[in-house]
Structure 1
Protein backbone atom coordinates (compact mmCIF):
# COMPACT_ATOMS: atom_id res chain seq x y z
CA UNK A 1 0.00 0.00 0.00
CA UNK A 2 1.34 3.41 -0.91
CA UNK A 3 1.94 6.05 1.72
CA UNK A 4 -0.88 8.22 0.37
CA UNK A 5 -3.27 5.25 0.45
CA UNK A 6 -2.43 4.75 4.13
CA UNK A 7 -2.97 8.44 4.81
CA UNK A 8 -6.29 8.41 2.99
CA UNK A 9 -7.43 5.34 4.93
CA UNK A 10 -6.53 6.96 8.23
CA UNK A 11 -8.31 10.18 7.22
CA UNK A 12 -11.47 8.25 6.33
CA UNK A 13 -11.46 6.39 9.65
CA UNK A 14 -10.78 9.59 11.57
CA UNK A 15 -13.63 11.48 9.89
CA UNK A 16 -15.96 8.50 10.39
CA UNK A 17 -15.11 8.44 14.10
CA UNK A 18 -13.95 4.82 14.03
CA UNK A 19 -12.16 3.60 17.17
CA UNK A 20 -9.54 4.49 18.29
CA UNK A 21 -9.81 7.70 16.27
CA UNK A 22 -13.02 9.16 17.71
CA UNK A 23 -13.20 12.93 17.59
CA UNK A 24 -16.20 15.28 17.71
CA UNK A 25 -17.49 15.69 14.12
CA UNK A 26 -17.63 19.47 14.48
CA UNK A 27 -13.81 19.70 14.53
CA UNK A 28 -13.39 18.59 10.92
CA UNK A 29 -14.77 21.73 9.22
CA UNK A 30 -12.52 23.85 11.46
CA UNK A 31 -9.39 21.91 10.47
CA UNK A 32 -10.41 21.96 6.81
CA UNK A 33 -10.94 25.73 6.97
CA UNK A 34 -7.43 26.26 8.35
CA UNK A 35 -5.93 24.07 5.62
CA UNK A 36 -7.88 25.89 2.90
CA UNK A 37 -6.70 29.26 4.22
CA UNK A 38 -3.07 28.14 4.28
CA UNK A 39 -3.38 26.87 0.70
CA UNK A 40 -5.00 30.15 -0.37
CA UNK A 41 -2.20 32.16 1.25
CA UNK A 42 0.23 30.92 -1.40
CA UNK A 43 2.98 30.38 1.18
CA UNK A 44 3.89 26.97 -0.19
CA UNK A 45 4.76 28.55 -3.52
CA UNK A 46 7.16 30.95 -1.79
CA UNK A 47 9.08 28.20 0.05
CA UNK A 48 12.53 27.18 -1.19
CA UNK A 49 12.41 25.03 -4.29
CA UNK A 50 14.66 22.97 -6.55
CA UNK A 51 17.59 25.05 -7.75
CA UNK A 52 17.76 27.19 -4.60
CA UNK A 53 20.65 26.97 -2.17
CA UNK A 54 19.67 25.23 1.06
CA UNK A 55 20.33 27.15 4.28
CA UNK A 56 23.06 25.62 6.43
CA UNK A 57 21.97 24.50 9.89
CA UNK A 58 23.08 22.77 13.05
CA UNK A 59 20.38 21.17 15.21
CA UNK A 60 20.43 18.78 18.20
CA UNK A 61 19.47 15.15 17.87
CA UNK A 62 17.36 13.43 20.58
CA UNK A 63 20.47 12.94 22.72
CA UNK A 64 21.46 16.61 22.47
CA UNK A 65 24.31 15.97 20.05
CA UNK A 66 24.65 18.76 17.44
CA UNK A 67 24.15 17.61 13.86
CA UNK A 68 25.24 19.92 11.07
CA UNK A 69 24.05 19.93 7.49
CA UNK A 70 27.65 20.54 6.37
CA UNK A 71 28.81 17.29 7.96
CA UNK A 72 25.89 15.35 6.50
CA UNK A 73 26.48 16.74 2.99
CA UNK A 74 30.18 15.96 3.21
CA UNK A 75 29.16 12.29 3.23
CA UNK A 76 26.62 12.46 0.39
CA UNK A 77 23.19 13.80 -0.59
CA UNK A 78 20.76 14.63 2.19
CA UNK A 79 17.08 13.76 2.36
CA UNK A 80 15.14 16.00 4.76
CA UNK A 81 11.58 15.67 5.99
CA UNK A 82 9.98 18.55 7.89
CA UNK A 83 7.10 17.29 10.00
CA UNK A 84 4.77 18.62 12.67
CA UNK A 85 5.41 16.31 15.63
CA UNK A 86 4.77 13.00 17.34
CA UNK A 87 1.17 14.04 18.03
CA UNK A 88 0.37 14.08 14.27
CA UNK A 89 -0.69 10.63 12.96
CA UNK A 90 -0.15 11.67 9.34
CA UNK A 91 3.45 12.55 10.19
CA UNK A 92 3.98 9.22 11.94
CA UNK A 93 2.75 7.31 8.90
CA UNK A 94 5.16 9.31 6.74
CA UNK A 95 8.10 8.58 9.05
CA UNK A 96 7.30 4.86 8.91
CA UNK A 97 7.24 4.96 5.10
CA UNK A 98 10.58 6.78 5.03
CA UNK A 99 12.05 4.13 7.34
CA UNK A 100 10.90 1.43 4.91
CA UNK A 101 12.69 3.20 2.05
CA UNK A 102 15.81 4.11 4.04
CA UNK A 103 17.91 1.11 2.87
CA UNK A 104 17.45 2.25 -0.73
CA UNK A 105 18.45 5.81 0.18
CA UNK A 106 21.60 4.48 1.82
CA UNK A 107 22.44 2.30 -1.18
CA UNK A 108 22.55 5.53 -3.19
CA UNK A 109 24.86 7.18 -0.66
CA UNK A 110 22.24 9.45 0.91
CA UNK A 111 21.46 10.16 4.54
CA UNK A 112 18.03 10.96 5.97
CA UNK A 113 16.95 13.27 8.78
CA UNK A 114 13.54 14.40 10.00
CA UNK A 115 13.13 17.88 11.46
CA UNK A 116 10.36 18.99 13.80
CA UNK A 117 9.88 21.75 16.38
CA UNK A 118 9.25 19.25 19.17
CA UNK A 119 11.45 18.73 22.23
CA UNK A 120 14.11 16.04 22.39
CA UNK A 121 11.91 13.91 24.67
CA UNK A 122 9.16 13.91 22.06
CA UNK A 123 11.67 13.10 19.34
CA UNK A 124 12.77 10.08 21.37
CA UNK A 125 9.11 9.10 21.61
CA UNK A 126 8.83 9.40 17.81
CA UNK A 127 11.84 7.13 17.37
CA UNK A 128 10.39 4.48 19.70
CA UNK A 129 6.83 4.54 18.43
CA UNK A 130 7.75 4.44 14.77
CA UNK A 131 10.78 2.15 14.98
CA UNK A 132 13.06 4.65 13.30
CA UNK A 133 16.79 4.24 12.65
CA UNK A 134 17.40 7.77 11.31
CA UNK A 135 17.75 10.88 13.47
CA UNK A 136 15.03 13.35 14.35
CA UNK A 137 16.39 16.85 14.89
CA UNK A 138 14.75 19.47 17.13
CA UNK A 139 14.17 22.80 15.39
CA UNK A 140 13.36 25.11 18.31
CA UNK A 141 10.98 27.86 17.32
CA UNK A 142 10.83 26.43 13.79
CA UNK A 143 13.84 28.59 12.91
CA UNK A 144 15.24 26.28 10.24
CA UNK A 145 11.73 25.72 8.90
CA UNK A 146 11.42 29.50 8.62
CA UNK A 147 14.69 29.68 6.66
CA UNK A 148 13.15 27.25 4.16
CA UNK A 149 9.93 29.30 4.06
CA UNK A 150 7.84 26.65 5.84
CA UNK A 151 6.95 28.18 9.21
CA UNK A 152 3.44 29.51 9.71
CA UNK A 153 1.42 30.70 12.70
CA UNK A 154 -1.80 28.89 13.55
CA UNK A 155 -4.91 31.10 13.33
CA UNK A 156 -6.54 31.93 16.65
CA UNK A 157 -9.56 29.69 16.05
CA UNK A 158 -7.29 26.70 15.39
CA UNK A 159 -5.25 27.44 18.53
CA UNK A 160 -8.50 27.38 20.50
CA UNK A 161 -9.49 24.05 18.95
CA UNK A 162 -6.07 22.54 19.71
CA UNK A 163 -6.44 23.67 23.31
CA UNK A 164 -9.86 22.03 23.54
CA UNK A 165 -8.35 18.81 22.17
CA UNK A 166 -5.49 19.06 24.71
CA UNK A 167 -3.05 19.32 21.81
CA UNK A 168 -0.74 21.74 23.61
CA UNK A 169 1.90 22.73 21.08
CA UNK A 170 3.86 24.92 23.53
CA UNK A 171 4.24 21.88 25.78
CA UNK A 172 5.17 19.55 22.89
CA UNK A 173 7.69 22.03 21.52
CA UNK A 174 9.00 23.78 24.63
CA UNK A 175 8.18 27.06 22.90
CA UNK A 176 5.34 29.49 23.66
CA UNK A 177 4.67 30.21 20.00
CA UNK A 178 1.88 28.41 18.19
CA UNK A 179 3.77 27.79 14.96
CA UNK A 180 4.25 24.74 12.77
CA UNK A 181 6.16 23.86 9.62
CA UNK A 182 4.27 22.96 6.48
CA UNK A 183 5.13 19.33 5.80
CA UNK A 184 7.95 19.26 3.26
CA UNK A 185 10.44 16.88 1.69
CA UNK A 186 13.78 18.03 0.31
CA UNK A 187 16.79 16.42 -1.33
CA UNK A 188 19.98 18.46 -1.05
CA UNK A 189 22.96 17.71 -3.26
CA UNK A 190 26.49 17.69 -1.90
CA UNK A 191 26.97 21.14 -3.40
CA UNK A 192 24.23 22.49 -1.11
CA UNK A 193 21.74 23.03 -3.94
CA UNK A 194 18.19 21.73 -3.55
CA UNK A 195 17.65 18.96 -6.10
CA UNK A 196 14.06 18.10 -5.10
CA UNK A 197 11.41 19.94 -3.14
CA UNK A 198 7.84 19.00 -2.25
CA UNK A 199 5.91 21.35 0.04
CA UNK A 200 2.22 20.82 0.74
CA UNK A 201 0.09 23.04 2.97
CA UNK A 202 -2.41 20.16 3.21
CA UNK A 203 -0.90 18.01 5.96
CA UNK A 204 -2.93 14.98 4.83
CA UNK A 205 -1.03 14.83 1.53
CA UNK A 206 2.58 13.53 1.44
CA UNK A 207 4.83 12.48 -1.47
CA UNK A 208 5.85 8.87 -1.86
CA UNK A 209 9.39 8.15 -0.59
CA UNK A 210 10.09 6.28 -3.83
CA UNK A 211 9.73 9.58 -5.71
CA UNK A 212 13.16 10.51 -4.39
CA UNK A 213 15.01 7.54 -5.84
CA UNK A 214 15.47 8.89 -9.40
CA UNK A 215 16.77 12.15 -7.94
CA UNK A 216 19.27 10.31 -5.76
CA UNK A 217 20.30 8.10 -8.68
CA UNK A 218 21.04 11.20 -10.71
CA UNK A 219 23.03 12.78 -7.89
CA UNK A 220 25.07 9.62 -7.37
CA UNK A 221 25.83 9.13 -11.07
Structure 2
Protein backbone atom coordinates (compact mmCIF):
# COMPACT_ATOMS: atom_id res chain seq x y z
CA UNK A 1 0.00 0.00 0.00
CA UNK A 2 1.47 3.33 -1.04
CA UNK A 3 1.90 6.24 1.33
CA UNK A 4 -0.65 8.33 -0.57
CA UNK A 5 -3.23 5.54 -0.51
CA UNK A 6 -2.85 5.35 3.29
CA UNK A 7 -3.26 9.12 3.54
CA UNK A 8 -6.32 9.03 1.28
CA UNK A 9 -7.90 6.29 3.40
CA UNK A 10 -7.31 8.27 6.59
CA UNK A 11 -8.68 11.44 5.00
CA UNK A 12 -11.83 9.64 3.84
CA UNK A 13 -12.53 8.32 7.34
CA UNK A 14 -11.73 11.65 8.97
CA UNK A 15 -13.93 13.67 6.62
CA UNK A 16 -16.75 11.14 6.95
CA UNK A 17 -16.73 11.82 10.69
CA UNK A 18 -16.09 8.20 11.58
CA UNK A 19 -15.10 7.38 15.17
CA UNK A 20 -12.86 8.31 16.84
CA UNK A 21 -12.77 11.57 14.84
CA UNK A 22 -16.45 12.65 14.86
CA UNK A 23 -15.52 15.98 13.29
CA UNK A 24 -18.38 18.28 12.22
CA UNK A 25 -18.51 19.20 8.55
CA UNK A 26 -17.93 22.87 9.36
CA UNK A 27 -14.41 21.93 10.49
CA UNK A 28 -13.77 20.11 7.22
CA UNK A 29 -15.02 23.11 5.24
CA UNK A 30 -12.66 25.43 7.12
CA UNK A 31 -9.70 23.14 6.47
CA UNK A 32 -10.57 22.94 2.78
CA UNK A 33 -10.84 26.74 2.61
CA UNK A 34 -7.42 27.23 4.20
CA UNK A 35 -5.78 24.72 1.85
CA UNK A 36 -7.43 26.26 -1.22
CA UNK A 37 -6.27 29.75 -0.19
CA UNK A 38 -2.70 28.56 0.37
CA UNK A 39 -2.68 26.89 -3.04
CA UNK A 40 -4.09 30.02 -4.69
CA UNK A 41 -1.45 32.21 -3.03
CA UNK A 42 1.28 30.63 -5.17
CA UNK A 43 3.53 30.26 -2.12
CA UNK A 44 4.70 26.80 -3.16
CA UNK A 45 6.07 28.16 -6.44
CA UNK A 46 8.37 30.49 -4.48
CA UNK A 47 10.00 27.70 -2.48
CA UNK A 48 13.47 26.38 -3.28
CA UNK A 49 13.62 24.07 -6.30
CA UNK A 50 15.99 21.57 -7.87
CA UNK A 51 19.11 23.44 -8.95
CA UNK A 52 19.01 25.88 -6.03
CA UNK A 53 21.59 25.74 -3.24
CA UNK A 54 20.80 24.45 0.22
CA UNK A 55 20.71 27.23 2.84
CA UNK A 56 23.27 26.46 5.55
CA UNK A 57 21.70 25.64 8.90
CA UNK A 58 22.49 24.39 12.38
CA UNK A 59 19.60 23.01 14.44
CA UNK A 60 19.24 20.95 17.60
CA UNK A 61 18.33 17.28 17.63
CA UNK A 62 15.83 15.92 20.22
CA UNK A 63 18.64 15.59 22.78
CA UNK A 64 19.79 19.18 22.32
CA UNK A 65 22.88 18.37 20.25
CA UNK A 66 23.68 20.79 17.41
CA UNK A 67 23.43 19.30 13.92
CA UNK A 68 24.70 21.31 10.96
CA UNK A 69 23.95 20.88 7.28
CA UNK A 70 27.70 20.97 6.60
CA UNK A 71 28.32 18.02 8.93
CA UNK A 72 25.44 16.05 7.42
CA UNK A 73 26.67 16.62 3.86
CA UNK A 74 30.21 15.64 4.81
CA UNK A 75 28.99 12.05 5.01
CA UNK A 76 26.98 11.89 1.80
CA UNK A 77 23.79 13.20 0.16
CA UNK A 78 20.99 14.41 2.39
CA UNK A 79 17.24 13.79 2.46
CA UNK A 80 15.21 16.45 4.30
CA UNK A 81 11.52 16.21 5.19
CA UNK A 82 9.75 19.24 6.65
CA UNK A 83 7.41 17.98 9.39
CA UNK A 84 4.54 20.03 10.84
CA UNK A 85 4.42 18.30 14.22
CA UNK A 86 3.44 15.38 16.40
CA UNK A 87 -0.20 16.52 16.26
CA UNK A 88 -0.46 15.98 12.46
CA UNK A 89 -1.49 12.42 11.51
CA UNK A 90 -0.57 12.93 7.86
CA UNK A 91 2.95 13.94 8.85
CA UNK A 92 3.29 10.96 11.18
CA UNK A 93 2.29 8.56 8.42
CA UNK A 94 4.86 10.19 6.17
CA UNK A 95 7.62 9.77 8.78
CA UNK A 96 6.70 6.09 9.14
CA UNK A 97 6.97 5.64 5.37
CA UNK A 98 10.34 7.38 5.32
CA UNK A 99 11.53 5.11 8.13
CA UNK A 100 10.55 2.07 6.04
CA UNK A 101 12.50 3.45 3.08
CA UNK A 102 15.53 4.45 5.15
CA UNK A 103 17.58 1.29 4.33
CA UNK A 104 17.31 2.17 0.62
CA UNK A 105 18.57 5.69 1.33
CA UNK A 106 21.44 4.41 3.47
CA UNK A 107 22.49 1.93 0.76
CA UNK A 108 23.04 4.98 -1.45
CA UNK A 109 25.08 6.69 1.29
CA UNK A 110 22.38 9.22 2.24
CA UNK A 111 21.40 10.67 5.60
CA UNK A 112 17.77 11.46 6.47
CA UNK A 113 16.51 14.19 8.80
CA UNK A 114 13.14 15.77 9.47
CA UNK A 115 12.84 19.46 10.34
CA UNK A 116 9.97 20.68 12.52
CA UNK A 117 9.03 23.85 14.42
CA UNK A 118 8.09 21.78 17.46
CA UNK A 119 10.25 21.80 20.59
CA UNK A 120 12.64 18.95 21.45
CA UNK A 121 10.21 17.37 23.94
CA UNK A 122 7.65 16.87 21.18
CA UNK A 123 10.33 15.73 18.74
CA UNK A 124 11.32 13.01 21.19
CA UNK A 125 7.65 12.06 21.40
CA UNK A 126 7.44 11.90 17.59
CA UNK A 127 10.56 9.72 17.38
CA UNK A 128 9.21 7.38 20.04
CA UNK A 129 5.65 7.10 18.72
CA UNK A 130 6.75 6.55 15.11
CA UNK A 131 9.68 4.24 15.95
CA UNK A 132 12.16 6.45 14.10
CA UNK A 133 15.91 5.90 13.86
CA UNK A 134 16.54 9.28 12.21
CA UNK A 135 16.39 12.63 14.02
CA UNK A 136 13.76 15.36 14.01
CA UNK A 137 15.57 18.69 14.22
CA UNK A 138 13.89 21.63 15.96
CA UNK A 139 13.48 24.76 13.84
CA UNK A 140 12.43 27.56 16.23
CA UNK A 141 10.09 30.12 14.63
CA UNK A 142 10.31 28.12 11.36
CA UNK A 143 13.39 30.15 10.44
CA UNK A 144 14.98 27.39 8.34
CA UNK A 145 11.62 26.68 6.74
CA UNK A 146 11.49 30.38 5.83
CA UNK A 147 14.95 30.14 4.22
CA UNK A 148 13.53 27.36 2.03
CA UNK A 149 10.46 29.49 1.23
CA UNK A 150 8.12 27.14 3.11
CA UNK A 151 6.94 29.16 6.11
CA UNK A 152 3.44 30.63 6.02
CA UNK A 153 1.35 32.49 8.57
CA UNK A 154 -1.96 30.90 9.47
CA UNK A 155 -5.12 32.93 8.86
CA UNK A 156 -7.02 34.10 11.96
CA UNK A 157 -10.00 31.81 11.22
CA UNK A 158 -7.62 28.82 10.98
CA UNK A 159 -5.94 29.76 14.26
CA UNK A 160 -9.36 29.80 15.92
CA UNK A 161 -10.15 26.39 14.46
CA UNK A 162 -6.88 24.92 15.75
CA UNK A 163 -7.59 26.35 19.19
CA UNK A 164 -11.06 24.77 19.17
CA UNK A 165 -9.45 21.40 18.31
CA UNK A 166 -6.92 21.79 21.15
CA UNK A 167 -4.06 22.01 18.65
CA UNK A 168 -2.06 24.48 20.73
CA UNK A 169 0.80 25.27 18.35
CA UNK A 170 2.41 27.82 20.71
CA UNK A 171 2.53 25.05 23.30
CA UNK A 172 3.88 22.46 20.86
CA UNK A 173 6.45 24.84 19.38
CA UNK A 174 7.31 27.30 22.17
CA UNK A 175 6.54 30.08 19.68
CA UNK A 176 3.55 32.45 19.62
CA UNK A 177 3.68 33.20 15.90
CA UNK A 178 1.19 30.59 14.59
CA UNK A 179 3.27 29.73 11.53
CA UNK A 180 3.77 26.38 9.83
CA UNK A 181 5.97 24.97 7.08
CA UNK A 182 4.37 23.64 3.94
CA UNK A 183 5.13 19.92 3.77
CA UNK A 184 8.22 19.47 1.62
CA UNK A 185 10.83 16.90 0.69
CA UNK A 186 14.35 17.58 -0.60
CA UNK A 187 17.36 15.62 -1.80
CA UNK A 188 20.64 17.53 -1.60
CA UNK A 189 23.94 16.46 -3.16
CA UNK A 190 27.20 16.71 -1.26
CA UNK A 191 28.01 19.90 -3.17
CA UNK A 192 24.98 21.56 -1.55
CA UNK A 193 22.89 21.65 -4.73
CA UNK A 194 19.26 20.54 -4.45
CA UNK A 195 18.63 17.59 -6.77
CA UNK A 196 14.98 16.93 -5.90
CA UNK A 197 12.28 19.16 -4.45
CA UNK A 198 8.63 18.44 -3.78
CA UNK A 199 6.51 21.10 -2.05
CA UNK A 200 2.75 20.81 -1.68
CA UNK A 201 0.51 23.36 0.05
CA UNK A 202 -2.07 20.56 0.44
CA UNK A 203 -0.88 18.81 3.61
CA UNK A 204 -2.88 15.67 2.70
CA UNK A 205 -0.72 15.05 -0.39
CA UNK A 206 2.80 13.62 0.00
CA UNK A 207 5.24 12.12 -2.51
CA UNK A 208 6.29 8.50 -2.19
CA UNK A 209 9.69 7.94 -0.56
CA UNK A 210 10.76 5.96 -3.64
CA UNK A 211 10.30 9.08 -5.77
CA UNK A 212 13.61 10.34 -4.39
CA UNK A 213 15.68 7.30 -5.37
CA UNK A 214 16.66 8.55 -8.87
CA UNK A 215 18.04 11.77 -7.36
CA UNK A 216 19.88 9.79 -4.67
CA UNK A 217 21.38 7.51 -7.31
CA UNK A 218 22.46 10.61 -9.22
CA UNK A 219 24.09 11.98 -6.05
CA UNK A 220 25.82 8.67 -5.35
CA UNK A 221 27.14 8.58 -8.91
CA UNK A 222 28.57 12.08 -8.57
CA UNK A 223 30.28 11.17 -5.31
CA UNK A 224 31.83 8.07 -6.88
CA UNK A 225 33.08 9.96 -9.96
Taking structure 1 as the reference length, the TM-score comes to 0.99
Residue 87 of structure 1 and its aligned partner are, at CA, apart by 0.1
SS at match of 1:84: coil
* CA deviation string 1:74-106 (max 9, x = no partner): 000000000110000000000000000000000
1:60-99 to structure 2, matched below 5 A, reads: 60-99=60-99
Paired with 1:21 and 1:72, the residues of 2 have a C-alpha distance of: 39
After TM superposition, the runs of 4+ consecutive aligned structure 1 residues lying more than 6 A away are none
1:46-195 to structure 2, matched below 5 A, reads: 46-195=46-195
Paired with 2:66 and 2:92, the residues of 1 have a C-alpha distance of: 23
* CA deviation string 1:176-210 (max 9, x = no partner): 11000000000010000000000000000000000
Aligned residue pairs total 221
Consecutive unaligned residues of structure 1, counting only runs of 5 or more, are none
Paired with 1:16 and 1:51, the residues of 2 have a C-alpha distance of: 41
SS at match of 1:80: strand
SS at match of 1:45: helix
Paired with 1:183 and 1:22, the residues of 2 have a C-alpha distance of: 25
SS at match of 1:63: coil
Residue 22 of structure 1 and its aligned partner are, at CA, apart by 2.1
Q: Which residue of 1 is the match for residue 32 of structure 2? A: 32
Moved more, 91-100 or 211-220: 211-220
* CA deviation string 1:13-40 (max 9, x = no partner): 0011112222222100100000000000
Q: Which residue of 1 is the match for residue 199 of structure 2? A: 199
Taking structure 2 as the reference length, the TM-score comes to 0.97
Q: Which residue of 2 is the match for residue 18 of structure 1? A: 18
Residue 219 of structure 1 and its aligned partner are, at CA, apart by 1.1
* CA deviation string 1:110-140 (max 9, x = no partner): 0000000001000001001100000000000
Paired with 1:214 and 1:52, the residues of 2 have a C-alpha distance of: 18
SS at match of 1:186: strand
SS at match of 2:25: coil
SS at match of 2:97: helix
What is the alpha-carbon root mean square deviation over aligned residues?
Answer: 0.5
